């Protein structure tokens, strides 16, 4: 089974939606996939937690299916959503100077897709 790590950096909802959709699709097609929320995308976590937000269902699905590896701790801090990440009990990733590093995922045999 192929292993894919999707790093979502884009902070625009419609761009981030494609990271959610592809993560779900890859999982449903048998890939071992993990989503990492990075950069400007970390500002979306509070918005996506609200049921009225477009793509809330997909965001919830990614979390429920344990497809979300976590959120960049440094970027969530800079974007003002660190407390929201903690409130949602999302894993905070910080192995590379406060950010989630590619090397960790490559070392685990994952291919990386950056969006």
Cα–Cα distances (Å) from 95 to 16, 33, 64, in that order, read 23, 19, 24
Locate tokens 């292993």: which residue? 3
Q: Report residue 24 as tokens.
A: 């779900």
What is the reported pTM?
0.96
pLDDT of amino acid 1: 82
Say yes or no: domain 3-114 is CATH 3.40.1260.10. Answer: yes
Do 59 and 39 form a contact (C-beta atoms < 8 A)? Answer: no
Domain positions in the chain: 3-114
**pLDDT, block means (10 residues), the chain with 115 residues:** 96 97 98 98 97 97 98 98 98 96 97 97
């Amino acid at each position: 089974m192929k292993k894919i790590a999707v790093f979502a950096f884009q902070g625009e909802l419609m761009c981030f939606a494609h990271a959610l959709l592809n993560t779900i699709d890859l999982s449903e097609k048998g890939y071992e996939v993990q989503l990492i929320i990075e950069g400007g995308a970390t500002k979306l976590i509070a918005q996506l937690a609200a049921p009225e937000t477009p793509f809330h269902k997909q965001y919830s699905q990614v979390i429920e299916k344990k497809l979300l590896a976590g959120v960049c701790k440094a970027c969530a801090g800079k974007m003002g959503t660190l407390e929201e990440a903690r409130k949602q009990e999302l894993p905070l990733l910080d192995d590379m100077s406060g950010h989630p590093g590619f090397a960790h995922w490559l070392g685990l045999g994952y291919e990386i897709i950056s969006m």
